[in-house]
Amino acid sequence: MPDKDSILLKKYSNRRLYDTEKSAYVTLSDVAGMIRDGRWVSVVDADSGEDVTAFTLTQIIMEEAKKKNALLPVPVLHLVIRYGENLLADFFDKHLEKMIASYVSYKTMADEQFNRWLEMGTGLTDTARKSMAENSPFHSFFRQFFPGGPAGGDAGKNPDDRKAKKHSQESGS
């Protein structure tokens, strides 16, 4: 999948990696960062021109596994050793990349959908609160008994405003 975002690295016999784009030596950690940033990395042996990308990327994975003390579950590692490259190489070549890409795609879609639900829920909560306060079927019933109460026309007003209104009505009579 090399494209315009690809980087060519040269691996020298002293195990150092040379970034031909920046004209500087880089570490395995730097290469991992480039890949995480979406760059496509190709590594060639500086002397022979042989493609050593897979070996270099495997080194990066092994370094990451050392930090976390695990890469794959032990039973899977036993299967890799037991069946070697014949059976597993076929699986890795044909299926693993597609499985991981599908997983990432579905995870992204699920995260986006969940975020939309959260946004809808927030908006729905505000709308529902307003709707329930304004369109309650009990409004007319409560107004019969409590004309100035919470179900009446003064529902959303400050209680001090209601007291002032009541006081002005009493003094005006």
Angle subtended at Cα 85 by Cα 66 and Cα 17, rounded to the nearest 5 degrees: 45
Domain total in the chain: 2
The listed range with the strongest mean pLDDT (49-58, 120-129, 147-156, 162-171) is 49-58
Pick from 98, 67, 61, 63: which is nearest to 80 by CA?
Answer: 61
Q: How much is the pLDDT for 132?
A: 63
Q: What are phi and psi of 157, to 5 degrees?
A: -90, 165
Instruction: Supply the range of the domain harboring residue 80.
Output: 72-152
- What pLDDT, in 10s, does the model give residues 75-89? 877 777 777 767 777
Query: Which of 69, 91, 115 marks a domain boundary?
Result: 69
The answer to whether residue 167 is domain-embedded is no
The structure's pTM equals 0.50
Q: Is-contact 7 34, C-beta < 8 A?
A: yes
- What pLDDT, in 10s, does the model give residues 89-111? 777 777 877 888 899 899 999 99
Q: Is-contact 29 23, C-beta < 8 A?
A: no
The more confident residue out of 94 and 20 is: 20
Are 32 and 53 members of one domain? yes
